[in-house]
Amino acid sequence: MKKDQLYRKYKIWNTIIILFSIIGLITCIAILFPQVRLQMMAFAEHLLERKSATYNSWYSLLFSLASGGVFFILIFDYCTLTTSGRTLVQQVKQDVKACFSEIDFRIFIKPILLMFAVYLLGLLAIIRANFLYNDDVGRAIMGYRDWYNWSRYIAVFFSFIIQPEIHVTDISPIPQLLAILLLSCSSVLLVYILCEKKITTIRLLASIPLGLSPYFLECLSYKFDAPHMALSILACIIPFLFITSKKAFLFVSIISLLVMCMTYQAASGIYIMISIFLCFQYWSNRKKSNKEILFFFGRTIVAFSLAMLIFKFFFLRPIDDQDLYASNAMYPLSQIVSGTLSNIKNYLFIIKNDLGLLWKIGILFIIFLFIIKSICQSTQKKIISFFFSIMFIVLTFISSFGAYSMLSNTLLYPRTMFGFGIFLAIICVHVVTDYKKLAVVAVLALNWCFFTFAFSYGNALADQARYADFRIGILLHDLSNLYPTISAEEMSIQFDNSIEFSPTIKNIAKNNPIIERLVPKRLSNSLFDYFYCFGHFNNEQFFIDIEEFQNIKYSTLDLPVVIDSYYHTIKSDGEHILIIFKH
């Protein structure tokens, strides 16, 4: 009797799943057709009685959600309606539970608290600066969540958890504190994985570049984005907790990598870097045979490739680089090798120019110590260990740039290069593990440089904000004298130059040039700066004509000079305004 009841329930649930799956598939497939999306957008505009300012964004977002919906429905149906799918789910579930049972989570509490204190202290100056960093300006003023523009759907979802409101508002330092917590977990788990579950204070301190490298400092400067960027790092590390189970590792890797792709794609190289390190470690101490190492690395490549393909074909929203400042298009197959090598070359060149001499010496010395340690402690032949350690350095460095190295219009902002900090963290943790005091001193000295630079950077943000607000005050005073009342027709404005950095930033740049790539000037020919200058200071009389901003430079117009002062020159014909800042 019970079996019959269970069977009837099973048939009913299967029927319901099939029915909803058919409806969902028909809906998603229909939305994939351009005509349907156009009708949906037209209906939405009619319902709201206004035209969407982000029409193209919503149009392509519908496509991404529909294709992602098709993928989820198909996977869900396979796992619930087929015998092989249910068996696979049960096996993976058991393997995941088995892996969790092997972990004593209590040992993480004190290390996480330690790293939280370290990162909090390091970021204190940035938090105190209270600096609206680039996108923060628009989000704070208008409250929009546009992470979907970059296919970061989990970032959008995560932002609703952090702040469950229709419009986001500035709730700092809560996002930064959450980011610090995620970074602390990442540092502890990285040490746990790299050091065979042995966590020590020295190894934890050696992992500081993970969160306090100059490149990730830009990520932490974003009040609204910081937790999402930190989550992308943690997502790449978590799969290696399940390394003892093949199926669980593959499953968790794919899910975690998809989370990374839908939070911040610049972290895409972290997973590969850790995989390469573990393979090198297995080979060096002969704890696994060459065949086992190849199979393990093969699984990581399969998981990474599957996750990237799923993301590309089902979730990636195409970006028009004419509308935004970047494109996610990859090099064509015929140019993939040469293009990737060119991007890696530029990546190395920028790092060389960003870092100060003392940092370069410290990094090269630690890499030298890594090679020496690899040779001395390896159970393999010394000469082979030497070449393999060099190969490890090269491959890990290349991987640190992640999937961005294959983009035809790649981004080389500091926030997209934080993989270099993870690269340094992996090397530093390995160097201080069971090695001489010289290595510990060298690693801690380098990390102390990063730690103190975080204070310099935070104070530099505050100082540049002070200087920029001073220049903005003078500019708005002159503009208010020229145009004391708001005219019926708004006047469009353009900046033809930028202000300089404050003297303190120029002083920092003598030793650490990267500071000039990290600190926004606040007044330059950037949309963020226009938002800050006029939106943040509540002066809507002047606006930026986006079409003219992209196609017409007011400097080419013969505008008469209306004010020429020590700080700037203002040219205007009453409709167009050109501001030329003086240094």
Among the residue ranges 145-159, 394-408, 462-476, 546-560, the one predicted with the least confidence is 546-560
Other CB atoms within a 10 A radius of the CB of residue 233 amount to: 31
Burial of 500 (0-12, 13-18, 19+ CB in 10 A): middle
Summarize the confidence of residues 455-475 as an average pLDDT.
Answer: 94
Provide the pLDDT for residue 488. 47
Higher pLDDT, 65 or 413: 413
Summarize the confidence of residues 23-33 as an average pLDDT.
Answer: 79
Q: ∠ at Cα 197 (192, 203), nearest 5°? A: 50
Q: How confident is the model at residue 83 (pLDDT cuts 50, 70, 90)?
A: confident
Q: Which helix (H) or strand (E) holds 572?
A: strand 568-572
Summarize the confidence of residues 136-148 as an average pLDDT.
Answer: 85
pLDDT digits (tens, 9 = 90+) for 234-283: 999 999 999 988 889 999 999 999 999 999 999 999 999 999 999 999 99
Burial of 186 (0-12, 13-18, 19+ CB in 10 A): buried
Task: Quote the mean pLDDT of the chain.
Answer: 87
Is residue 55 over pLDDT 50? Answer: no
Summarize the confidence of residues 101-106 as an average pLDDT.
Answer: 88
Provide the pLDDT for residue 276. 96
3-state secondary structure of 202: helix
Residues 6+ apart with CB under 8 A from 106: none
Supply the pTM of this predicted model. 0.91
Is residue 528 over pLDDT 60? Answer: yes
Provide the pLDDT for residue 322. 46
Say how far apart CA 209 and CA 203 lie, in whole Å: 12
Provide the pLDDT for residue 317. 75
Residues 6+ apart with CB under 8 A from 354: 214, 414, 513, 514, 517
3-state secondary structure of 493: strand
Summarize the confidence of residues 146-154 as an average pLDDT.
Answer: 82
Sign of CA dihedral 319, 325, 331, 337: negative
Provide the pLDDT for residue 306. 94
Say how far apart CA 520 and CA 111 lie, in whole Å: 34
Q: How confident is the model at residue 3 (pLDDT cuts 50, 70, 90)?
A: low
pLDDT digits (tens, 9 = 90+) for 353-407: 999 999 999 999 999 999 999 998 888 888 999 999 999 999 999 999 988 988 8
In DSSP terms, 495 is beta-bridged to 579
Is residue 50 over pLDDT 60? Answer: no
Q: How confident is the model at residue 541 (pLDDT cuts 50, 70, 90)?
A: low
Summarize the confidence of residues 72-91 as an average pLDDT.
Answer: 84
Among the residue ranges 12-16, 160-164, 373-377, 444-448, the one predicted with the least confidence is 12-16
Provide the pLDDT for residue 329. 75
Q: How confident is the model at residue 180 (pLDDT cuts 50, 70, 90)?
A: very high
Q: What single string gives the DSSP state of each residue in 245-257?
A: -HHHHHHHHHHHH
Provide the pLDDT for residue 145. 82
pLDDT digits (tens, 9 = 90+) for 310-324: 998 888 876 654 445
Provide the pLDDT for residue 53. 46
**HSE, side-chain direction, 13 A CA sphere, residue 48:** 10
